[in-house]
A and B are shown apart, each in its own frame.
Chain A
């Protein structure tokens, strides 16, 4: 079935440093979504990318979809303690009826 690899699994940064998580697929994706889960919380939708080479920004967060639509990245500029959590990418299954989630990247930030 559809699978997506997400790296790194864990990342620790000092407050103010940048952070990037990557999501890779062996097959071409129709779309990709990103979610954030705060410690003890539930995943919350951040953004969806659908076009080849698409770049979207949300304040300090930059999302990219690769030209071949097989990979995506989430970059956070100048991390803050509020960025702590696990970031998941999610892609559609072959039937387009459910989301398959990556294993997530857990970000910790020290001040």
Chain B
């Protein structure tokens, strides 16, 4: 069953703690993306990676970090430096990394920082 998995679906953390969100894909896609979604804000790009061991900042990268050690995995760490981390986080992938390709999304992780 091919697709993108994100775990967990719901995540609760205390303020000041770092937290890592998982994103795995078995579509053999080259590029992977992280978005943050807040009510009324649409999807805002955090980081993306077009190839293994390389990634670029999106529009709201501050307070986040990523790694791309394997093609199928692109974990996102929300650090304590992120001022307002409570949000819905979506991971996506594209086959070749060109923006003309279809973007496939995972089911998302809803992070709540208490």
A contact set with B: CB distance below 8 Å: 1, 6, 9, 30-31, 33, 35, 41-45, 48, 50, 88, 90-93, 96-104
Interface segment, one of B17-25, B68-76, B79-87, B93-101: B93-101
Give the one of A45, A93, A98 with max B CB within 10 A. Answer: A98
Write the residues of chain B forming the contact surface with A, with a CB cutoff of 8 angstroms: 31, 33, 35, 40-45, 48, 50, 56, 58-59, 90, 97-100, 102-108
Q: Which of A1, A9, A97, A102 contacts B98 (CB 8 A)?
A: A97
Can you report 9 A-B residue pairs in the complex whose CB atoms are below 8 A from each other? A9-B40, A45-B103, A90-B103, A93-B99, A97-B31, A98-B48, A99-B33, A101-B35, A103-B42
Report chain A residues within 8 Å CB of B42. Answer: 6, 88, 101-104
Given A9-B40, A88-B42, A97 and B48 contact (CB-CB distance below 8 Å): yes
Q: How far is the CB of A51 from chain B (nearest CB, A)?
A: 13
B98 contacts A101, C-beta separation under 8 Å: no
CB A48 to nearest CB in B, in angstroms, measures 7
Residue of B nearest to A100 (CB): B45
Candidates A45, A98, A100; contact of B102 at CB < 8 Å? A45
Complex alpha-carbon distance, A101 and B103, angstroms: 12
